[in-house]
Chains A and B, each alone.
Chain A
Amino acid sequence: MTRVSVAAPSAQLTAFSPRVRIRRGVSIAFMVAALLAIAVSMIMLGALIVEIAVDGAARLFTDGSAVGREARGGAIIADLSTPDGMRWMTWALPVAILLPFIGPRLVNALAPGLPRIAERVMGVIVVAPAAIFVHILYVRFESAYYVEYAKAVGLDGASGNIFQVLAEASGFQIVRLLVVGILVPLAVFAAGWFWAQRMRRPSLIIPTIVIAGWVVYLFMDPWFLSSFPSRQPPEAGIFSAVTGTLYMMVITAAVAFPLGVGAAIYLEEYARRNWFSRMIQVNISNLAGVPSIIYGLLGLQVFVRVLEFERSVLAGACTMALLVMPIIIVSAQEALRTVPPSMREAAYAVGATRWQVIRFHVLPYAFGGMLTGNILAMSRAIGETAPLIAIGALTFIAFLADSPTDDFTVLPIQIFNWVARPQAGFHEIAASAIIVLMVILLLMNAAAIIMRQRTRTDW
């Protein structure tokens, strides 16, 4: 006879024994400590961010306080409220937003199993209208803005015709109209499409981010991004700081990435494990902890004075490269270590040389991780101020650096400079600049996360 017996829960197991209670107490104590630590910093950071956002938004989405300037948001709202504008909004915007999402599904459903290249061509064909709609919308809003602007500043013949305004507009403004209006949307939608193909399902991520960013940009005051610093807070912009930051980052990455990755490859793949390589390794870790102002002094002596780069983008970038090199090396080493030994053995076993193993296997598998580390290192460099102050980066730069040896400024220095001034107006635009800096940082970190997930291999 079989009988299923369910044992009655024993009293000893269900009751709180003293030991269970102690263990609970311990875990609660840790939880409280963690909550305290997190809560304090979060609340303070949150308050700071809210304050910055409130101040900064005032300048980013200017409400007409700027001398001779109409709010762009206002111009758009005014334009949308016309019957013509309503018509555009009701169908052009949905098409622009939905096409990239629905397109891949549609093509996959109508013609499954297309060769990859055909899929991609189809992708661009389907996506192109979306980009064109975005462009139309952009030009509409941009022209509405230019027209308002032209009226406000009393440009000749500014009777509301975009072409007349363009005739007055600078080359830069025309380029912006074309690039921002059509190339960017097309590139983004096409990238979203390819991404969707890779993932074998339509992806909403990239188009969503871009459309959201684009809408924000529409309502922003572009003059803040495209003006040079000024003595009048409402006139001042961060154009030279943003371009200086980008310029410096490109050079920093170009210097630090190859060197850092090279060093990591040497340490992981070639160096024997002896006192020498151990010493290098320890020193790299130590360098990561050196205060950044020290790097600034080093840069001042080595790059500015000895190598005579002057106080240039190049000197700043080289200093930053030194600063982030340890981060890049260590993260590249970690990326290399994630490549399983079995992959190297497999490659060696078919007669690959060490370099072939590295070139065709280790590097490709580790590259995503290396890039991620590089982006994170760059996001560290982008916010660094002290070393650049040490090398004497100027803060009032009313021109763009055309060559690596020109003077320059970067966002954090611009912010530092504005915050240090007594007038409240400068504090406001400093907050705006902080928002821009944070958006750039968030975008970089998001890119790093996406990259890490995309390139992860499940061995």
Chain B
Amino acid sequence: MARNFFTLMRSSAPSASAHGAATAERPAPPAPPNNMTDGADAGGGVHFDLTLEAVRHEINEEVDIALQLRDVSAFYGSFQAIDRMTMPIPQNRVTALIGPSGCGKSTLLRCFNRMNDLIPGARMEGEITFEGRNLLDPNIDAVEVRRRIGMVFQKPNPFPKSIYENVAFGARINGYSGDMDRLVEDALRRAALWDEVKDELDKSGLALSGGQQQRLCIARAIAVQPEIILMDEPASALDPVATLKIEDLMRELAEEYTIVVVTHNMQQAGRVSDYTAFLLAGEERVGRLVEFGPTQDIFTNPLDQRTEDYITGRYG
């Protein structure tokens, strides 16, 4: 089932954007295989060998694939945190990673921008295809990956520098030579923060409220013009009003960026995401993908009993 629901326009033909030059130097590898090929028998509805394969819903829209995961595993030393996850991250959509804590959501997210490289002893296996190349390939420059796949963290972590400097930093170190003031203003506007801070750009980022700090961090991520923005429970440290603002912002940003958001708040996943992946740690705390599909389907018609249990609140 569900063989050709993904159209892989982008992955085989990287657009001639500003980043085209970097990609063009090497011959583009063959287009990644359709993600469904090796998971084809998963939807049989009879028996799911969930240690290997997750349930997938059909995707009923034409959507590009920003990231294609194939058998992604991650290890901390000898401990395996996630096991052979295969799924797509649709482009210009919000994809939510949900699951109880400790199931490897953050670990998976941090694979996307090679953040795990920074942890001594961390190791990743499998393939994450981005514009036709495997991000996990050790020959890929992790610094460049992180420039193009931005990240927003659970606890707002602005630099102890001015608001302006917070936003400008990424662009500056990446050799941006255009009009920095405009870039900063633009990023702050997109992060829905401009009106609140435009008169005090040289105030310390730490002087802002928690919600403002988090939007500053989003502005900081946007300022380096990434294609994908990863958010690890971006609202979990915020009050309800600030949380709503961040959620609205995510919906707006999804028009231009691909967003992957980790959350363990079901309502939030339901409100903001287009696609949802449900992860669960099985025996020996190894995280596995249980179910992936359009959020609507996952929430109204979960195919796996455990997904249903989790969504209806029967899990932790």
| A residues with CB within 8 A of B | 272-273, 340, 342-353, 356, 360-361, 365, 457-459
Contact = CB atoms under 8 A, between A and B. Distances in A.
13 contacts: A272-B120, A343-B160, A346-B153, A346-B157, A346-B158, A348-B118, A349-B115, A350-B170, A350-B223, A351-B143, A351-B146, A352-B170, A353-B173
Most chain A C-beta atoms within 10 Å of own C-beta, residue among B147, B155, B173, B206: B173
Contacts of A353: 143, 173
**Which residue of A273, A344, A345 has the most chain B CB atoms within 10 A of its CB atom?**
A345
A365 B160 contact: yes
A351 B144 contact: yes
A360 B174 CA distance: 13
Task: Report the contact-size class of chain B (Cβ under 8 Å from the partner).
Answer: 20 to 34
B221 interface: yes
A350 B206 CA distance: 18
Interface in B115-147: 115, 118, 120, 143-144, 146-147
Contacts, number: 69
B310 interface: no
Interface of B: 113, 115, 118, 120, 143-144, 146-148, 150-151, 153, 155, 157-160, 169-170, 173-174, 206, 217, 220-221, 223-224
Nearest to A359: B173
A350 B220 contact: yes
Contacts of B170: 350-352
Given A342-B155, A351-B147, A457-B160, A273 B120 contact: yes
Contact of B169 (A272, A340, A350): A350
Most chain B Cβ neighbours within 10 Å, of A273, A349, A352, A459: A349
A349 B150 contact: yes
| Closest 10 pairs between A and B when the two form their complex, measured CB to CB | A351-B147, A350-B170, A349-B151, A342-B157, A346-B157, A457-B160, A351-B146, A356-B173, A350-B224, A353-B143
A360 B169 contact: yes
Contacts of B160: 343, 365, 457, 459
Nearest to B154: A342
A356 to B, nearest CB: 5
Contacts of B220: 346, 350
Contacts of A344: 118
Contacts of B224: 350-351
Contacts of B118: 344-345, 348
B173 A349 contact: no
A350 B147 contact: yes
Contacts of B173: 350-353, 356, 360
A282 to B, nearest CB: 19
A347 B159 contact: yes
A349 B120 contact: no
A418 to B, nearest CB: 49
A377 to B, nearest CB: 26
Contacts of A346: 153, 157-159, 217, 220
Contacts of A458: 206
A360 B165 CA distance: 11
A349 B144 CA distance: 10
A220 to B, nearest CB: 43
B134 to A, nearest CB: 19
Given A344-B118, A346-B159, A351-B147, 15 more contacts: A272-B120, A342-B157, A345-B153, A346-B220, A347-B159, A348-B146, A349-B153, A351-B144, A351-B174, A352-B143, A352-B169, A353-B143, A353-B173, A356-B173, A457-B206
Given A273-B120, A350-B220, A345 B157 contact: yes
Interface centre among A346, A350, A351, A353 (most CB of B within 10 A): A350
A348 B223 CA distance: 14
Contacts of B157: 340, 342-343, 345-346
A269 to B, nearest CB: 11
A268 B71 CA distance: 34
A360 B151 CA distance: 19
Contacts of A349: 113, 115, 146, 150-151, 153, 221
B300 to A, nearest CB: 35
Contacts of B146: 348-351
A76 B113 CA distance: 73
B159 A343 contact: yes
Contacts of B120: 272-273
A395 B206 CA distance: 54
Given A347-B159, A347-B169, A350-B169, A342 B153 contact: yes
B206 to A, nearest CB: 7
Query: Which of B115, B157, B174: most chain A CB closer than 10 A?
Result: B157
A394 to B, nearest CB: 49
Nearest to A341: B118
Contacts of B113: 349
A351 B144 CA distance: 6
A272 B155 CA distance: 27
Contacts of A365: 160
Contacts of A273: 120
Contacts of B147: 350-351
B20 to A, nearest CB: 18
Nearest to B223: A350
Contacts of B155: 342
Contacts of A361: 159
Nearest to B142: A348
A353 B174 CA distance: 10
Nearest to B174: A351
Contacts of A356: 173
Contacts of A350: 146-147, 150, 169-170, 173-174, 220-221, 223-224
A459 B223 CA distance: 23
A145 B299 CA distance: 92
B183 to A, nearest CB: 13
Nearest to A116: B202
Contacts of B115: 345, 348-349
Nearest to B121: A273
A342 to B, nearest CB: 4
Contacts of B153: 342, 345-346, 349
Nearest to B165: A360
Contacts of B158: 346
Nearest to B158: A346
A453 to B, nearest CB: 15
A160 to B, nearest CB: 56
A74 B159 CA distance: 57
Contacts of B206: 457-459
A66 B259 CA distance: 83
User: Considering residues A343, A347, A361, which has the most beta carbons from chain B within 10 angstroms of its beta carbon?
Assistant: A347
A352 to B, nearest CB: 5
A459 B155 CA distance: 11
Among A273, A340, A344, A459, the one with the most B-chain Cβ atoms within 10 Å of its Cβ is A459
